[in-house]
Amino acid sequence: MSHASDIHRQAELLAADAIGDVIEHWGFRRVLGRIWTVLFIEGGALSAAEIGERLQVSSGAMSMSLTELQRWGVVRRVWKPGERKEFFEAETDFWKMISKVFAERERLIADSVRERLERASALLEGLPPTDAARFSLDRVERLLSFVIVAQAALDGFIKSRTVDFSRFGDLVRFPIRAVRSRRGA
């Protein structure tokens, strides 16, 4: 390998590890973020074996991870004419990926939280109206109100798949180096 390709692979692994850490923080397996990042940076389709070699991931772990990434809609299988093996490429629409996770995962927890707070509220409403019971009911209902507002915001985000990032200028559309050069960094 040439010096330039060594640096390229080093940068790719550094980025993959960074995104892997973020993904792990969100409760997913770190390897999922690493695989997606390699595909995203590549910009084209790679075979499972190629990805596994770059990341030093076993073929079994690659197979499971690629299946999970496809289920989340962040990686898709593509076919190359004349090739027998499967190839994969990354979804590049960040908002599409994030909204799918929100719709499937965060929505479930929000529904569960709301249902349990509604049950807690009903239990407290059934108690004799003491100061402690009224105070607790007020606090639970405040939590419930917050969850209802959060659900409405989440539903709006999922439906519109938009977020207003106008205060960040062109950061979302242009490479960071273009933003740095505008600021004189």
Q: Give domain status of residue 180, yes or no.
A: no
**Residue linked to tokens 């062109």:** 170
Mean pLDDT, residues 121-127 taken together: 94
State the sign of the Cα–Cα–Cα–Cα dihedral 165, 169, 172, 173.
Answer: positive
Same domain, 69 and 100: no
Tell me if 114 sits within 8 A of 151, measured CB to CB.
yes
Q: Is the predicted pLDDT of residue 174 greater than 50, yes or no?
A: no
Q: Give domain status of residue 61, yes or no.
A: yes
pLDDT digit string (tens) for 70-108?
999 999 999 998 988 999 999 998 888 887 887 778 788
Q: Is the predicted pLDDT of residue 15 greater than 50, yes or no?
A: yes
Q: Is the predicted pLDDT of residue 172 greater than 50, yes or no?
A: no
Same domain, 111 and 164: yes
Residue type at 148 in one-letter notation: I
Least Cα distance to 46 among 66, 20, 25, 26 occurs for 66
pLDDT digit string (tens) for 21-61?
999 998 899 999 999 999 999 999 999 999 999 999 999 99
Q: Which domain holds residue 108?
A: 94-168
Q: Which tokens belong to 133?
A: 């019971």
Same domain, 64 and 111: no
CATH code, domain with 57: 1.10.10.10
Same domain, 104 and 56: no
pTM of the model as a whole: 0.70
Question: Which residues, including other chains, have CB under 8 Å from residue 165's CB and lie 6 or more apart?
Answer: 171, 172
Same domain, 120 and 78: no
Residue 176: its pLDDT value, please? 44
Q: Is the predicted pLDDT of residue 177 greater than 60, yes or no?
A: no
Residue 159: its pLDDT value, please? 75
Q: Which tokens belong to 87?
A: 């190839």
Q: Could you tell me the strand order of the sheet in which 46-47 lies?
A: 46-47, 87-90, 75-78
Mean pLDDT, residues 166-179 taken together: 49
Say how many domains are in the chain.
Answer: 2
Which of the two residues, 58 and 152, has the higher pLDDT score? 58
- Quote the percentage of the chain above a pLDDT of 90: 58
